[in-house]
């Protein structure tokens, strides 16, 4: 075959540059260009091949760019993708951008730069950084959630949800931050203040879009059985969904005919012990039940709780507060009149927002009853309710028809009774709440709906999608409760094409989870303008075989996208029940940060601050106190590259004399000054060394602090690999002399063993041990004889998932002309894996004393004899007769005296 003309630097030059020291910069640039220009990793549906879909959680491209911690997962999935490709799989390995979101919008407010500009710029940076790592993405499939061609289909999926009654508008309490002019998520509110800026947050009712994820609670829970995910992630989802079995019970209100209080309880068997009831202060019946005598106290209590955030209420812990409403309810099982209280230990958001209090068998009710001197009755034997609540199972007592029944049976019996009497029923309750789906922000997907003049809400027809954002040049929040879009009448006001009515667009936008809920589906068919994806593409590629991303998305992204996926499944639009078959969470790479303290609490740049090392500072609660003076001080961080190191390696402040710094391990962040950029590491050691090091550091799922010391080791290994093929000393020589064929028997065996081992490690996603086997191969292969060409070729194939640039370069130096990345993975010669003689350890009483060489096929008697004959064994056995001799084939012999 004629020499193919690869479009790359080497091809143009006609020959490779003069041989010299390993120079990653030139090699990496050459092959990155080659892969991009030839679209080496472009893939398409091919039913003749098995598929493998390996996906990274796509990033939000922030203005900071990547640090070395981010690509850990990407590098691992890339190695897997490259491995699977060589193993004959048709691999889908795409990348895209989750680009809507608050940071770009905040940046816009501060600088006046349109979020689209910032986003585009950040994407450019991220793409450049990822490409510099040599990741084998099919870049033709790149998606951007802010692209109108993408968000059109996000809106289309919202329409599907709406059509099925799963999207609705409701008035709910939200965290409104007047200073920031926006609603905040619960996670963004800490102790009643905003996380950013420490501004007060109030809970106000606002009309919001909600998604009925609770309809899918049961399936979201049970289908976790179908996926291969880390147990702790499954557990977190289970806890979040929070299924509990119990009963709903209706308590009558004699003074309010027709009204009842409904409670949820997991212990209907304790109904006879319910001696009072408690409503959440927000409960709708509070106002009507409260008697005139109690009204002032109740109103004051309701107002007081309204001011507290849920978090603060919880923080108060065991000290129970509450007030009596003056009303009484009737216990349906024994017709006793019991008082109705309100208390903030009952949460409006869980169950029915009301409870029957059984102080004998619930710790919270017990504490409350004690404080307010309410009666405590024992209805389950086993404890001593005058000392403490007894929440465990036991035998029902003082409970009429339930007396003598064990807890499980009592529950069953009372449930049947409640249903017969029409006073309640067995039910299942979930902690999961419907998903608050709107945000009062600009940089998100507009809702594809019209609010018509007649008060109805109507979906924008599919053929009019997308509804794009209007151009704005001012994103500053101004009025109360006003969204940026509500200030754009030209965009907001429109007309319904069908009825001619005046119509208004929705001024809210979707949260940034929307785009990430389905991007894995778009990757199957990203260029499709007719549909969100073609059914053939979806059926071929789905599900995602391996999904890798941070555990911080355990409940949010992963639960939301599973929900959407199930809705799409019900619509017949996807063929799998679950989107992500196997999930792995990369551990976080941390960075060393260097800390001291000073007394410049106000951050005044002109102030003369007094500085203290950490050893002179003690932490009291949240505040740091300088021990010598007793005054408050503030932590300061020294940039990583400014730290000086003393003679003994002590980190020191760059300018202040004799100020030792404290070394702590922290998440990499700008404020801690401990960010390491991949750009810098690549500039010094190359992308291959960085990739190798991040994989070699340890298992994917384990986090560790970034240490610069380890990279040279990986660089040295690559250099050794380079020298196997390239003669560094004789400039101009294209390649080392290599022995032809597989080499000596020992070399052939080493190669076979390495192939078998590396293959197995990769199947188990353990690149760290695979790399160590390659290191051993490279060290041993030419110890006694010239490296054999066939062995080197196999080695390069195996090296290519980890260090793809160097492997590809050396492959060409061997005279090969096709892409190494598309070569088949080597197969070990099975006959070489079987050793003729094996070494067995010999133990005496379980302690290793010697070892013996025996033929691999030696029978047990021969092995025993050899073991007993071993010199050091004979010494320990002496003239004793072994009680027992245990032979573990291929492993060891244990002689028991």
Shortest distance, CB of residue 590 to RNA, whole angstroms?
A: 10
Shortest distance, CB of residue 30 to RNA, whole angstroms?
A: 23
Position 697 contacts RNA (CB under 7 A) = yes
Q: Which residues, numbered 714-743, are part of the site for RNA (CB under 7 A)? A: 714-717, 719-720
Position 836 contacts RNA (CB under 7 A) = no
CB proximity list for 598: less than 8 A, separation 6 or greater: 609, 610, 611, 612, 633, 634, 636
What gap in Å lies between CA 464 and CA 466, rounded to an integer? 6
Among 264, 301, 390, 443, binds RNA (CB under 7 A): 264
Shortest distance, CB of residue 851 to RNA, whole angstroms?
A: 6
CB proximity list for 457: less than 8 A, separation 6 or greater: 169, 449, 450, 451
Farthest CA pair distance, the chain: 108
Residues forming beta bridges with residue 248, ordered by sequence position: 264, 425
Among 3, 337, 606, 847, binds RNA (CB under 7 A): 847
Shortest distance, CB of residue 277 to RNA, whole angstroms?
A: 11
- Considering only CA atoms, give the Rg of the chain: 34
Smaller CB separation from RNA, 469 or 770: 770
What gap in Å lies between CA 529 and CA 531, rounded to an integer? 6
Kindly write down the DSSP assignment for every residue of 567-595, as one continuous string: HHHHTTS-S-S-SEEEEE-PPPEEEEEEE
What gap in Å lies between CA 247 and CA 174, rounded to an integer? 29
Shortest distance, CB of residue 311 to RNA, whole angstroms?
A: 8
Binding window for RNA (CB under 7 A); candidates: 3-11, 203-211, 260-268, 439-447: 260-268
Shortest distance, CB of residue 755 to RNA, whole angstroms?
A: 13
Position 164 contacts RNA (CB under 7 A) = no
Position 269 contacts RNA (CB under 7 A) = no
CB 285 within 8 A of CB 279: yes
Q: Which residues, numbered 239-258, are part of the site for RNA (CB under 7 A)? A: 239-240, 242, 244, 246
What gap in Å lies between CA 229 and CA 746, rounded to an integer? 41
DSSP letter at 60? Answer: P
- Show the binding pattern over residues 549-578: x = contacts RNA (CB under 7 A), - = does not: --xx--x-----------------------
Secondary structure of 828-888 as H, E, C letters: CCHHHHCCCEEEEEEEECCEEEEEEEEECCCCHHHHHHHHHHCHHHHHHHCCCCCCEEEEE
Position 42 contacts RNA (CB under 7 A) = no
What gap in Å lies between CA 30 and CA 33, rounded to an integer? 5
Q: Which residues, numbered 215-234, are part of the site for RNA (CB under 7 A)? A: 231-232
Q: Which residues, numbered 45-84, are part of the site for RNA (CB under 7 A)? A: none
Position 347 contacts RNA (CB under 7 A) = yes
Shortest distance, CB of residue 269 to RNA, whole angstroms?
A: 11
Among 144, 362, 378, 545, binds RNA (CB under 7 A): 362
CA atoms within 13 A on the CB side of 511: 17
Among 306, 375, 713, 741, binds RNA (CB under 7 A): 713
What gap in Å lies between CA 661 and CA 101, rounded to an integer? 37
Smaller CB separation from RNA, 542 or 697: 697
Binding window for RNA (CB under 7 A); candidates: 132-140, 452-460, 565-573, 767-775: 767-775
Q: Which residues, numbered 292-321, are part of the site for RNA (CB under 7 A)? A: 310, 313-314, 316-318, 320
Q: Which residues, numbered 372-431, are part of the site for RNA (CB under 7 A)? A: 429, 431
Among 113, 650, 707, 818, binds RNA (CB under 7 A): 707
Residue 36, H or E segment = helix 24-38
What gap in Å lies between CA 434 and CA 241, rounded to an integer? 11
For residue 302, the SS3 value is helix
Position 753 contacts RNA (CB under 7 A) = no
Position 839 contacts RNA (CB under 7 A) = yes
Closest CA to 801 of 15, 54, 66, 51: 54
Binding window for RNA (CB under 7 A); candidates: 87-95, 473-481, 512-520, 713-721: 713-721
Shortest distance, CB of residue 771 to RNA, whole angstroms?
A: 7
Q: Which residues, numbered 777-816, are part of the site for RNA (CB under 7 A)? A: 779, 783
Among 288, 476, 499, 845, binds RNA (CB under 7 A): 845
Position 284 contacts RNA (CB under 7 A) = no
What gap in Å lies between CA 415 and CA 397, rounded to an integer? 17
Closest CA to 306 of 382, 231, 203: 203
Smaller CB separation from RNA, 33 or 243: 243
DSSP letter at 660? Answer: B
Shortest distance, CB of residue 745 to RNA, whole angstroms?
A: 20
Position 280 contacts RNA (CB under 7 A) = yes
Shortest distance, CB of residue 44 to RNA, whole angstroms?
A: 35
Shortest distance, CB of residue 628 to RNA, whole angstroms?
A: 26
Smaller CB separation from RNA, 196 or 779: 779
Closest CA to 397 of 380, 422, 377: 380
What gap in Å lies between CA 322 and CA 301, rounded to an integer? 7
Among 97, 209, 345, 443, binds RNA (CB under 7 A): 345
Smaller CB separation from RNA, 349 or 384: 349
CB proximity list for 221: less than 8 A, separation 6 or greater: 237, 238, 241, 243
Q: Is the dihedral of CA 803, 809, 815, 821 positive or negative?
A: positive
Smaller CB separation from RNA, 494 or 768: 768
Binding window for RNA (CB under 7 A); candidates: 525-533, 616-624, 625-633, 711-719: 711-719
CB proximity list for 217: less than 8 A, separation 6 or greater: 241, 243, 430, 432
Position 835 contacts RNA (CB under 7 A) = no
Smaller CB separation from RNA, 282 or 525: 282
Position 172 contacts RNA (CB under 7 A) = no
Smaller CB separation from RNA, 467 or 724: 724
Residues forming beta bridges with residue 228, ordered by sequence position: 582
DSSP letter at 439? Answer: B
Q: Which residues, numbered 533-552, are part of the site for RNA (CB under 7 A)? A: 551-552
How many chain residues bind RNA (CB under 7 A)? 83
Q: Which residues, numbered 91-150, are part of the site for RNA (CB under 7 A)? A: none
Shortest distance, CB of residue 412 to RNA, whole angstroms?
A: 16
């Amino acid at each position: 075959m004629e020499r193919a003309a690869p479009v790359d630097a080497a091809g143009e030059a006609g020959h490779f540059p003069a041989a010299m020291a390993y120079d990653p910069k030139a090699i990496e640039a050459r092959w990155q260009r080659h892969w991009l220009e030839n679209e080496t990793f472009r893939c398409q549906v091919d039913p003749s091949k098995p598929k493998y879909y390996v996906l990274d959680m796509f990033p939000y491209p922030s203005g900071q760019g990547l640090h070395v911690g981010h690509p850990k997962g990407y590098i691992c999935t890339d190695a897997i993708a490259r491995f699977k490709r060589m193993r004959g799989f048709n691999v889908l390995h795409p990348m895209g951008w989750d680009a809507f979101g608050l940071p770009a919008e905040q940046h816009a407010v501060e600088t006046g730069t349109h979020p689209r500009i910032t986003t585009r710029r950040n994407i450019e940076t991220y793409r450049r950084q990822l490409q510099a790592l040599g990741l084998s993405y099919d870049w033709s499939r790149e998606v951007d959630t802010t692209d109108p061609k993408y968000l059109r289909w996000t809106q289309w999926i919202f329409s599907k949800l709406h059509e099925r009654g799963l999207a609705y508008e409701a008035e709910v309490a939200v965290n409104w931050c007047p200073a920031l002019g926006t609603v905040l998520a619960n996670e963004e509110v800490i102790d009643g203040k905003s996380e950013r800026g420490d501004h007060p947050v109030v809970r106000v009712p606002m009309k919001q879009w909600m998604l009925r994820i609770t309809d899918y609670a049961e399936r979201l829970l049970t289908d976790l059985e179908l996926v291969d995910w880390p147990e702790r992630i499954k557990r977190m989802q289970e806890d979040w969904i929070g299924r509990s079995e119990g009963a709903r019970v209706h308590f009558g209100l004699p003074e309010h005919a027709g009204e009842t209080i409904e409670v949820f309880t997991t212990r209907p068997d304790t109904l006879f012990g319910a001696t009072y009831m408690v409503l959440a202060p927000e409960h709708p019946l509070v106002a009507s039940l409260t008697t005139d005598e109690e009204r002032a106290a109740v109103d004051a209590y309701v107002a007081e709780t309204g001011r507290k955030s849920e978090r603060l209420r919880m923080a108060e812990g065991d000290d129970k507060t509450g007030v009596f409403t003056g009303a009484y309810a009737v216990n349906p099982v024994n017709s006793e009149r019991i008082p109705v209280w309100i208390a903030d230990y009952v949460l409006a958001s869980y169950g029915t927002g009301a409870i029957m209090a059984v102080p004998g068998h619930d710790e919270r009710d017990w504490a409350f009853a004690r404080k307010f001197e309410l009666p405590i009755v024992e209805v389950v034997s086993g404890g001593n309710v005058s000392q403490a609540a007894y929440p465990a199972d036991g035998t029902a007592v003082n409970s009429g028809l339930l007396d003598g029944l064990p807890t499980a049976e009592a529950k069953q019996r009372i449930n049947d009774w409640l249903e017969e009497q029409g006073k309640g029923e067995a039910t299942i309750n979930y902690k999961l709440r419907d998903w608050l789906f709107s945000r009062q922000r600009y940089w998100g997907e507009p809702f594809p709906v019209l609010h018509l003049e007649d008060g109805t809400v109507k979906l924008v027809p599919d053929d009019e999608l997308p509804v794009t954002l209007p151009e704005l040049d001012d994103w500053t929040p101004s009025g109360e409760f006003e969204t940026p879009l509500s200030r754009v009448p030209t965009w907001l006001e429109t007309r319904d094409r069908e009825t001619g009515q005046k119509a208004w667009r929705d001024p809210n936008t979707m949260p940034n989870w929307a785009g990430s809920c389905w991007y894995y589906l778009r990757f199957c068919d990203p260029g499709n303008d007719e549909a969100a994806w073609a059914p053939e593409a979806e059926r071929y590629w789905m599900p995602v075989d391996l999904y890798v991303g941070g555990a911080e998305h355990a409940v949010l992204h992963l639960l939301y996208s599973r929900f959407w996926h199930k809705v799409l499944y019900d619509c017949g639009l996807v063929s799998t029940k679950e989107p992500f078959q196997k999930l792995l969470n990369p551990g976080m790479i941390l960075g060393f940060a260097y800390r001291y303290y000073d007394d410049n609490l106000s951050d005044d740049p002109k102030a003369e601050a007094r500085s203290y090392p950490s050893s002179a500072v003690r932490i009291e609660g949240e505040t740091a106190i300088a021990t010598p003076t007793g005054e408050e001080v503030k932590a300061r961080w020294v940039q990583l590259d400014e730290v000086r190191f003393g003679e003994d390696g002590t980190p020191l402040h760059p300018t202040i004399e004799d100020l030792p710094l404290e070394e702590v391990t922290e998440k990499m962040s700008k404020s801690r000054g401990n960010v390491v950029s991949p750009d810098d590491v690549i500039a010094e050691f190359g992308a291959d060394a960085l990739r190798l090091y991040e994989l070699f550091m340890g298992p994917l799922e384990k986090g560790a602090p970034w240490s610069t010391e380890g990279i040279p080791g990986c660089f040295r290994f690559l250099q050794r690999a380079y020298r196997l093929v390239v003669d560094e000393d004789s400039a101009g020589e294209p390649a080392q002399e290599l022995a032809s064929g597989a080499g000596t028997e020992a070399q052939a065996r080493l190669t076979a063993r390495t192939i078998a081992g590396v293959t197995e490690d990769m199947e188990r996603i353990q690149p760290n041990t695979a790399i160590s086997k390659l290191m051993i191969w490279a060290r041993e292969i030419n110890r006694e004889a010239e490296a054999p060409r066939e062995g080197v070729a196999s080695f390069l194939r195996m090296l290519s998932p980890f260090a793809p640039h160097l492997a590809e370069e050396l492959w060409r130096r061997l005279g090969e002309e096709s892409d190494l990345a598309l070569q088949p993975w080597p197969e070990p010669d099975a006959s070489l894996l079987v050793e003729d003689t094996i070494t067995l350890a010999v133990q005496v009483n379980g302690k290793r004393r010697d070892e013996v060489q025996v033929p691999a096929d030696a029978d047990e008697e021969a092995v025993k004899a050899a073991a007993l004959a071993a010199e050091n064994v004979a010494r320990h056995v002496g003239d004793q007769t072994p009680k027992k001799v245990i032979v573990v084939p291929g492993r060891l012999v244990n002689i028991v005296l």
